[in-house]
Amino acid sequence: MNAKFWGKIVISAVILGLAMFAFNIFSTTPIAKILLPPVEASATAQELKDTVILARSEITVQETGHLSRAAFAIDNRSNHNIKNIEIICTVMDNAGGEQGRDKWVVYDTVKAHANGVFSYTSKMYVSDKATSSQCRIVDLEIAKSPLIAIHRGSTEGNSGHQPIEDIMHGGAHH
């Protein structure tokens, strides 16, 4: 028995120890907890959590084809227009155990002191053990005013705007 033999024994013992440790972790911890780490809300979402509210959420799944439908109602009581609202929904079984998560993003702008209702349909796998869901806003952006505003005039004759040469010469006609 040489050093090479004992080296293989030590490596085998280390691998066996790691395998036993992993088995112990996986057997005592639900797989959903291992695969679904905690979700933290962004700084903006935390700042506006009392004024931008997910008033209603509903997730339904057809058994055939796993076509899921999600509907969200968002109340924006803040003084900011908001957009790119990221919503995470956790699907749970009867005992309250996590069965999975999914993310939807509302790309539309919800104006300040207004609300919006949005619905989506997508094909995804949802566990057949799922009986309920909990959704929450985890990220959003404050919509900035556009740098360039387009003003539309009427289609009849003069568009209602003063000709550029009148503006350049104080509005007087020559």
Helix (H) or strand (E) holding 84: strand 82-92
Q: Is the model more confident about 121 or about 34?
A: 121
- In sequence order, which residues have a C-beta less than 8 Å from that of residue 11 and are 6 or more positions away? none
Best CA proximity match to 75, nearest among 43, 105, 118, 138:
118
* pLDDT exceeds 90 at position 70: no
How sure is the predictor about 154, in pLDDT bands with cuts at 50, 70 and 90? low
> With 70 as the cut, is the pLDDT of residue 71 above it?
yes
**Would you say 121 and 69 are in contact if contact means Cβ atoms under 8 Å apart?**
yes
Residues 130 and 99 sit within 8 Å (Cβ to Cβ): yes
**What's the confidence (pLDDT) of residue 168?**
42
Angle value at C-alpha 155, between 151 and 161, nearest 5 degrees = 45
Of 10-24, 66-80, 158-172, the poorest mean pLDDT is in: 158-172
pLDDT at 167: 43
Averaged confidence pLDDT in the chain: 78
pLDDT at site 164: 43
Q: Go through the chain and tell me how many residues it has.
A: 174
Decide: residue 94, CB within 10 A, 0-12 exposed, 13-18 middle, 19+ buried: exposed
pLDDT tens across 26-63, in order? 666 555 555 666 778 889 889 999 999 999 998 877 66
Are 154 and 160 a contacting pair, CB within 8 Å?
A: yes
Share of the chain above pLDDT 70, in %: 71
Q: Tell me how far apart the alpha carbons of residues 138 and 101 are, in angstroms, rounded to a whole number.
A: 13
> Is the full-model pTM beyond 0.75?
no
Q: Exposure string (b/e) for 3-42, b if CB count within 10 Å is 16 or more?
A: eeeeeeeeeeeeeeeeeeeeeeeeeeeeebeeeeeeeebe
Beta strands 82-92; 98-106: pairing state: antiparallel
The whole-number pLDDT of residue 150 equals 73
Query: Quick one: pLDDT at residue 113?
Result: 95
